[in-house]
A and B are shown apart, each in its own frame.
Chain A
Amino acid sequence: MFGRKEKPHKVTPAPEQQPQRQPLVDPMASDQLVPLHQPGYYPKFRTLDQQNYWDAATRTLILDRVNNIPPLRFFNLEEALTMQAVAERILPQDDRTESTRIPIVPFLDARLYLNHIEGYRYEDMPSDQDAYRLALRAIDSMSRELHSEPFHALPIQVQEGILQSLHDEKPLAANYLWQQMNLKRFWTMLVADCCAIYYAHPYAWDEIGFGGPAYPRGYMRLEEGEAEPWEADEQRYDWAAPQDTLSDGSGQAPAADSSPRGQAGAH
């Protein structure tokens, strides 16, 4: 069950019963759940509708981002399959219709291929490129060692278990590979990279109610969270992640010192 929550659910299918990449089914009603064009609490808000009010340089850039998906040039086919499965769990989009899913891996591939680094490398880390290659190898080794299958062929909940162990810095297997770099830093880079791509997309702005580009028009309603005339008011509902997911943590203990790469945005 995900998306708009219609009624409470109690039954959780065991992982081995979960279908792979098939539409999720409401376990109570046995109805297939219909993914949404636009998750989030601003159902009628579409930043792209405002594009005539954007400056030309910004409009060109955003439309290029939406319409032109870069080809894979950095990851090989096997790495791309693993990375795709990882990205689908780090930023799951099963609640989005196929045509409104935001591509993550092609933009990550482009970043690594073009060497768009954040301006630094931790002294206990290899290059970003080497870190990704090593990590994808390690994730696949974990999968094969524990489940005799490549990562991308595993059931979702098993994938989530593997990723949760990386998040917890206690990898379930392939320790000899993970020991070659600072796992915490890699995990942070991985999640931050996925976020930097997802939340750069107008569909994600619509989902969270961000107004998007605002030059030359600007904003005039600054206080009390008031919407501009062209923005949408929030319409809250009881949003639910899939009931059996491992990744719907409502937050854990405050983070230690490490911060995500690329700290633009504060002072």
Chain B
Amino acid sequence: MQQIKLPPRRFKDSDLIDYAIVGVGSAGGVLLQRLTRAGFKVVGFEAGPFWDTERQWVSDEAGSRNLYWNDLRITGGKDPLALGSNNSGRGVGGGSVHWASFVPRFHPSDFEVYTQDGVGADWPIGYDQIEPYYQLLEREMPVAGPAYYPWGKPHGHPYGPHPMGEVGNVLIRGCTSLGIRVSAGGPVAILSASHGDRPHCIYRGFCIQGCKVGAKASTLVTHVPDAIAHGAEIRDNSMVARISMAKDGRADGLTYFDSDGNEHFQRARAVIVSGYALETPRLLFNSACPGHEQGLANNSGTLGKYLMAQAGNVILGKFDDLIRQYKAPPAHALTEEFYETDPKRGFARGFAVQTVGPLPIAFSKQLIAAKQLWGWGLRREMMDYNHWSPLGLLGEILPWEDNRIELADGKDGRHDARDRFGLPVAQVTFSLKDNDKKLIEYGKNVVMDIMLAAGAKEIVQESRYAHLVGGARMSTTSATGVCDKFGRAWDVPNLFIMDGSVFPTQGSANPGLTIQALAARTADYVISQADAVFSSSKRDMTEPPCRRTLSPPGTFSKGVPHF
């Protein structure tokens, strides 16, 4: 049983704190922990609650809706994205509370998609800059997976792979008979053996509903306790409305609403926005002010643009034998054999194939979409829940300028929708382009081939999307993105953006590990800069040392296999 106590408030609104972090999720949790350990005065502002997991989390699908960002957003375009429970967290731990916790690394090619394929964008960093942080975060979570992972830059994992559920067996059987390599039992940020005071997985299958066991890594259990032990303050149920700018062109604090709707102003020497791909651009747009009329840190005009989701088609196969897809973590086996560009396929970039494990409600919705069922036919098909095995496509969709987040502020033909504080909500526009459609069609057929080879008697599919990144991308020059390679806003020297929104491209790897690795790297940069962040406008682009002294306890208690 987990017991993490929210510490009492440490700072007053009128105190000048060093760093105000907006959003205590995947990135915010890591930053809060690192910067507090380094001795800064840090407050994490979180729109949702600080969870009392034993009392507030349940082993139940319908009862877990509070884990998601369910406030209104507007979604449109030719291929509108489902939001909310599909991709948006709320509460301390953020998306890492409800992720399935697949943690593949990006491949070296992901950082130079434009150079290699002439599409998308290059990152302002290469694989070499992020690799030490992949290694570090894989130990901090820690990650369970095979001793030798063959794709991208091959590497091993600190904890052993998980046992297979039957959905994983379906993937392994299908892939093996087609000669496709497959990774079994990880990489997932779920404990296959106990770690410190966190127990190992009990294979109950409710990962996405919040791991009440504490076996699945969320920053709530991996980094927040250590942050609190070192003096971090977390102000939960606090919705940040605006970042405030002083006359000298620097941020001087932020305005937020407490749970009763009272408005407060917190002074801060620097601000880090970690609100994820929709709320981060929304906050920057809502912080428009003289000198930043088009949104804060938006001189480039790229804020809100190049939003990405991954193709997340779910292919459902029906088997004569029982599967019981609800057992074992939804994430437990995958293949990245199709990850890289293959010119023979006629499109750039690629995809992964992963296990998923929808519980009855999620599965029924997939069946409705895949088979257009209702009435008795729906009841009948659902009675075979235990005979269906799902597999998920995870396909790279390229960054397009017109896939974007805007404010639903009623201006210039946009919708007008507000939240309970009167703040305009996010309006999302998303449409697939030719390369994306070709990739999805090809990938879908590969997954169906795998399903067929595994012995499925009926195969259907649902088109859907997974994850959200982009919208405030990092770039090499101030004209082409919102922030530099450390997440420092090009236009405001003491404002950082660090979460999935900084991704220039997304690969076909789940983004969680990369978000946390980038956050740890930015923490190292900020610590290296010391007081310069608070006073200087000079932009030091020197790569910081990767500190191994700021990790939570137990990080280095296990070895990592090398080949």
Nearest Cβ on chain B to A222's Cβ, whole angstroms:
5
Contact status A122-B204, CB under 8 Å: no
Once A92-B376, A121-B74, A264-B68 are accepted as A-B contacts, the answer to whether A199 and B323 lie under 8 Å apart by CB is no
The residue that B166 contacts in the complex, of A117, A167, A223, with Cβ under 8 A, is A223
Contact status B380-A119, CB under 8 Å: no
Contact status A260-B70, CB under 8 Å: no
Once A218-B202, A224-B322, A241-B377 are accepted as A-B contacts, the answer to whether A191 and B368 lie under 8 Å apart by CB is yes
A246 at interface by CB-CB < 8 Å: yes
By a CB distance below 8 angstroms, the chain A residues around B246 are none
Contact status A251-B373, CB under 8 Å: yes
Nearest Cβ on chain A to B271's Cβ, whole angstroms:
26
The residue that A120 contacts in the complex, of B57, B84, B510, with Cβ under 8 A, is B84
Considering only CB atoms, which chain B residue lies closest to A210 in the complex?
B360
CA distance A180 to B364 in the complex (A): 28
Contact status A167-B372, CB under 8 Å: yes
B321 at interface by CB-CB < 8 Å: yes
Flag B136-171 by CB within 8 Å of A: 1 or 0 each. Answer: 000000000000000000000000000111100100
Contact status B360-A208, CB under 8 Å: yes
The residue that A58 contacts in the complex, of B63, B361, B385, with Cβ under 8 A, is B63
CA distance A54 to B212 in the complex (A): 12
Contact status B383-A40, CB under 8 Å: yes
Central interface residue in A117, A258, A261, A266, by most chain B CB within 10 Å: A266
Contact status B204-A119, CB under 8 Å: no
Count of A interface residues, CB-CB < 8 Å: 85
User: Restricting to B7-39, which residues have a CB under 8 Å from any CB of A?
Assistant: none
Flag A14-49 by CB within 8 Å of B: 1 or 0 each. Answer: 000000000000000000000000011100000000
27 contacts between A and B (CB under 8 A): A57-B56, A120-B82, A123-B427, A167-B372, A167-B374, A191-B373, A207-B382, A209-B386, A211-B327, A215-B213, A218-B203, A223-B166, A224-B321, A225-B323, A227-B324, A241-B377, A245-B376, A249-B374, A249-B375, A250-B377, A254-B370, A259-B365, A262-B84, A264-B64, A266-B390, A267-B356, A267-B392
CA distance A1 to B464 in the complex (A): 37
User: Restricting to A174-199, which residues have a CB under 8 Å from any CB of B?
Assistant: 188, 191-192, 195-199
CA distance A160 to B461 in the complex (A): 26
By a CB distance below 8 angstroms, the chain B residues around A239 are 380, 383
Contact status A188-B59, CB under 8 Å: no
Once A119-B68, A260-B365 are accepted as A-B contacts, the answer to whether A265 and B83 lie under 8 Å apart by CB is no
The residue that A220 contacts in the complex, of B61, B203, B354, B394, with Cβ under 8 A, is B203
The residue that A255 contacts in the complex, of B57, B213, B323, B369, with Cβ under 8 A, is B369
B293 at interface by CB-CB < 8 Å: no
Central interface residue in B64, B70, B321, by most chain A CB within 10 Å: B70
By a CB distance below 8 angstroms, the chain B residues around A198 are 364
Contact status B202-A217, CB under 8 Å: yes
B378 at interface by CB-CB < 8 Å: yes
CA distance A42 to B191 in the complex (A): 33
Central interface residue in B61, B68, B428, by most chain A CB within 10 Å: B61
B270 at interface by CB-CB < 8 Å: no
Considering only CB atoms, which chain A residue lies closest to B371 in the complex?
A251
A89 at interface by CB-CB < 8 Å: yes
Nearest Cβ on chain B to A81's Cβ, whole angstroms:
19
CA distance A92 to B464 in the complex (A): 28
By a CB distance below 8 angstroms, the chain A residues around B64 are 264
Nearest Cβ on chain B to A183's Cβ, whole angstroms:
14
By a CB distance below 8 angstroms, the chain B residues around A213 are 58-60
Contact status A255-B372, CB under 8 Å: yes
Once A215-B59, A225-B324 are accepted as A-B contacts, the answer to whether A120 and B74 lie under 8 Å apart by CB is yes
Contact status A55-B54, CB under 8 Å: yes
Once A207-B383, A253-B372 are accepted as A-B contacts, the answer to whether A265 and B57 lie under 8 Å apart by CB is no
Nearest Cβ on chain A to B141's Cβ, whole angstroms:
18
Once A57-B54, A160-B375, A208-B383 are accepted as A-B contacts, the answer to whether A225 and B71 lie under 8 Å apart by CB is no
By a CB distance below 8 angstroms, the chain A residues around B68 are 119, 264
CA distance A206 to B509 in the complex (A): 36
By a CB distance below 8 angstroms, the chain B residues around A260 are 365-366, 368-369
By a CB distance below 8 angstroms, the chain B residues around A257 are 79, 463
B120 at interface by CB-CB < 8 Å: no
How many A-B residue pairs have C-beta atoms within 8 angstroms? Tell me.
313
Contact status A266-B358, CB under 8 Å: yes
Flag B449-490 by CB within 8 Å of A: 1 or 0 each. Answer: 000000000001111101100000000000000000000000
B312 at interface by CB-CB < 8 Å: yes
By a CB distance below 8 angstroms, the chain A residues around B74 are 120-123
Nearest Cβ on chain B to A111's Cβ, whole angstroms:
10
B85 at interface by CB-CB < 8 Å: yes
Contact status A119-B88, CB under 8 Å: yes
Nearest Cβ on chain B to A178's Cβ, whole angstroms:
17
Contact status A223-B370, CB under 8 Å: no
Contact status A225-B166, CB under 8 Å: yes
Nearest Cβ on chain B to A42's Cβ, whole angstroms:
9
By a CB distance below 8 angstroms, the chain B residues around A76 are none
B548 at interface by CB-CB < 8 Å: no
Nearest Cβ on chain A to B49's Cβ, whole angstroms:
14
Considering only CB atoms, which chain B residue lies closest to A261 in the complex?
B82
Contact status A219-B327, CB under 8 Å: yes
B351 at interface by CB-CB < 8 Å: no
Nearest Cβ on chain A to B398's Cβ, whole angstroms:
18
CA distance A250 to B169 in the complex (A): 27
Contact status A234-B386, CB under 8 Å: yes
Nearest Cβ on chain B to A57's Cβ, whole angstroms:
5
Contact status A219-B203, CB under 8 Å: yes
Contact status A265-B359, CB under 8 Å: yes
The residue that B75 contacts in the complex, of A123, A167, A252, with Cβ under 8 A, is A123
Central interface residue in B70, B86, B201, B205, by most chain A CB within 10 Å: B86
B102 at interface by CB-CB < 8 Å: yes
Contact status A265-B362, CB under 8 Å: yes
Nearest Cβ on chain A to B368's Cβ, whole angstroms:
5
Central interface residue in A57, A225, A264, by most chain B CB within 10 Å: A264
Flag B527-555 by CB within 8 Å of A: 1 or 0 each. Answer: 00000000000000000000000000000
User: Restricting to A73-87, which residues have a CB under 8 Å from any CB of B?
Assistant: none
Contact status B358-A265, CB under 8 Å: yes
A11 at interface by CB-CB < 8 Å: no
Contact status B464-A263, CB under 8 Å: yes
By a CB distance below 8 angstroms, the chain A residues around B202 are 214-219
Contact status A196-B361, CB under 8 Å: yes
Excluding A122-B76, A265-B330, A266-B312, 12 further A-B contacts by CB distance (< 8 Å) are A90-B374, A120-B84, A123-B74, A197-B62, A208-B384, A215-B212, A219-B327, A221-B327, A222-B163, A224-B321, A264-B64, A264-B362
